[in-house]
Structure 1
């Protein structure tokens, strides 16, 4: 059996726990396709997983793998798959609750993929699958953002935030972005009508808003207070050290008052990836990349993200 390169870790711990090793190359089973991964990217939840903060989900069996974003081409088509062919350019993600895209190959069901957007190379495309579909779900599907509404994006320079600024503009909203001082020019370039340094512009200096997208997970009550009557807020981040406190706040907000806070567990499949590709092909959304690392540089990407100040995504080039 042939082998492939993959990023692994044998213990929970710091970024240094990550290393490039080898695993048996997978094959496409019935109802699966084998994707040759050109690139993947690092998402925030993977840092918590590696650090051991999500043990109830990730368990204690090692070695463990990392990354979920997929951008590549079909290398093999399993039985019962008819609409994809070898050589097709695709993007998507591993199924919910699984990791392993930081590898040369990954076998997934076709529902986890769509055709990659035309006009964007696969390394750049890898910055978008999870953060892009998260932004679409949050703003379009959960908030129901409408043209002319006032949107606040908190954490606007990060992976989800940088897409949300662009999508908010595409949906016709007036977008206010909160980001670090060094990223204010970036979020303005992405389409923010207003950009504020989160260190000097707290919630008391802002508002009101029809919609708030929070990617930080702290001070939720204060930012909820910025909502106009009937306003909607989605929080996609939580304090991994205090998950019950975050969950309790979300639940209480749905029971009391008109300013409701929503959360969701992302599980994007074919339709969402196809919708995202359409936004990219129209020019409404573009990848925002901080740094491109080799496969052996996943640990470096984790360290950079934990240090803060990220602008967009850290991408891992495999091919």
Structure 2
């Protein structure tokens, strides 16, 4: 059920076996007709007018609740919904999480764009493994200090500079630090389980310390103007590498990345594709805006299925016949937009 014409949930009040209900972008405000739908497991209220969650108090089987862009300010009715695993509280005016302290089941929490009205210690959510806390003016990671089970952390677009708290969160698998003012990456350089790291737009960090992260599978360095690319020689197990909008100029230094599947080199300083022909697992490559003359180096890559160029390159770059069906011509400003901001 979607669309602005949906506002009344009374017709649903006797659907006692209903498990999934998606009401995104509707004019629904009153959830009282859902009070007795005890089988409900997934409820999507994204973009609705809902403010009162009390009708959900007894929905013990509810596992996934999306409250993005709603009018909710009070989450206390959820403290007894002890089956809740994934809670989305993104883009809300402000939230006090204290009523959820010691909640027994929340594993994934999305607070993107939402200000917390108190200095809530997120370690009071003992099962929390995934935290999205992006696009808010936080500069202190103290609330996650004791989250020893945390696996995935997203603080993209925040004011975080000090990562020292993360050095003891040994279960971390993925960290997103994009568009933060972080300079010192040393605290995360020895996290044993780290496989995914987003550093897009991190302008002044010394990435050379990352050479100890030999288990990395995903690395995003887009818009990283001061990157020391020598560190890439120490990261042989990457599956995905994003160097868009950087000064990277030497693709031959990537030849040891035999597991690489996705490579982004748009608006870099490369002038040829030397060495790329050795990346036999490569499935996609982005080359928008680069000054190369031919794609012939990619001819022998049997797994390649996507090559991105922009419209201006259409007449400048020779495309072998067998690759023409793989090439997608994009709008030229797609990556350059970020490069100039």
Q: TM-score, normalised by structure 1?
A: 0.28
Compare the two structures and name the one with the higher strand fraction: 1
Q: Higher relative contact order by CA 8 Å / sep ≥ 6: 1 or 2?
A: 1
Compare the two structures and name the one with the higher helix fraction: 1
Return the index of the structure with the highest Cα Rg: 2
Q: TM-score, normalised by structure 2?
A: 0.26
